Amino acid sequence: MNSASPETLPPPAPETQPEARSGGWRFLIDLIENILLALVVFLAINTLTARVRVDGYSMRPTLENGEYVRVNRMAYEFGDPQRGDIIVFHSPLNPREDFIKRIIGLPGDTIEIRNGQVFVNGYAIEEPYIQAAPAYRGKWEVPAGHFFVLGDNRNDSSDSHAWGTLDTELVIGKAVLVYWPLEEAKILSHPQLIPTQ
């Protein structure tokens, strides 16, 4: 008795059109994911940091007019402000205007300026970063919740010697580096102005 073997059929040809369609969808999904990721990273960076353009000469020679500075908005969420820090803040005279200055006095400090020298709690501080010695004099007590700030270009700066101490609520963050123009790029130094007590 002859047995009949089932007829074997050739395998069906692969359909190329659905694959092409799924490849197009995959590309579109990847593109959307990359755009969303870039947006999340951009928003995170802008939440944690700020970009500020230096406008004027009050921080000369440390910072020059037109330089761009990166500011750490979270610096004082995780650490304490220090004398010597360069900060960006809303002007006490016009909150829509931002200033950049150096912290000289912390809450509780006594600041005195006389004979071209700045004294913090009786210590004469060394300031190799300033343009020139201050040509003014005065004495200030820094209240709680305030800083005493000065521009490095002491005689051409609207700062605490002119309008008083700065409310810490106005602080945007700590300036950490100059990033533009590239030939001027540098990390900003924050020197210790007086010995730790």
**Confidence category of residue 1, pLDDT binned at 50, 70, 90:** very low
Residue 115, helix vs strand vs coil: coil
Q: Is 80 contained in some domain?
A: yes
pLDDT confidence of residue 15: 54
Residue-number span of the structural domain to which 72 is assigned: 49-187
Q: Is 42 contained in some domain?
A: no
Q: State the average pLDDT for the chain.
A: 86
- Please give the positions annotated as active site: 58, 101
Total number of domains constituting the chain: 1
Percent of the chain with pLDDT over 70: 83
Cα 184 from Cα 48, distance rounded (Å) = 23
pLDDT digits (tens, 9 = 90+) for 106-149: 999 999 999 999 999 999 999 999 999 999 999 999 999 999 99
Q: Is 26 contained in some domain?
A: no
**Confidence check: pLDDT of 22 > 70:** no
Q: Is 136 contained in some domain?
A: yes
**Confidence category of residue 13, pLDDT binned at 50, 70, 90:** low
**Confidence check: pLDDT of 152 > 70:** yes
pLDDT digits (tens, 9 = 90+) for 59-94: 999 999 999 999 999 989 888 999 999 999 999 999
Q: Is 14 contained in some domain?
A: no
Q: Is 196 contained in some domain?
A: no
pLDDT confidence of residue 144: 97
**172: buried, middle or exposed (CB in 10 Å: 19+, 13-18, 0-12)?**
middle
pTM > 0.85: yes or no: no
7 against 136, higher pLDDT: 136
Percent of the chain with pLDDT over 90: 64
- Name the region of 96 (left: φ>0; alpha: ψ -120 to 50; beta: rest): alpha
Q: Is 20 contained in some domain?
A: no
Helix (H) or strand (E) holding 103: strand 98-105
pLDDT confidence of residue 39: 73
Q: Is 44 contained in some domain?
A: no
pLDDT digits (tens, 9 = 90+) for 154-163: 999 999 999 9
Any idea what the CATH number is for the domain that residue 76 is in?
A: 2.10.109.10
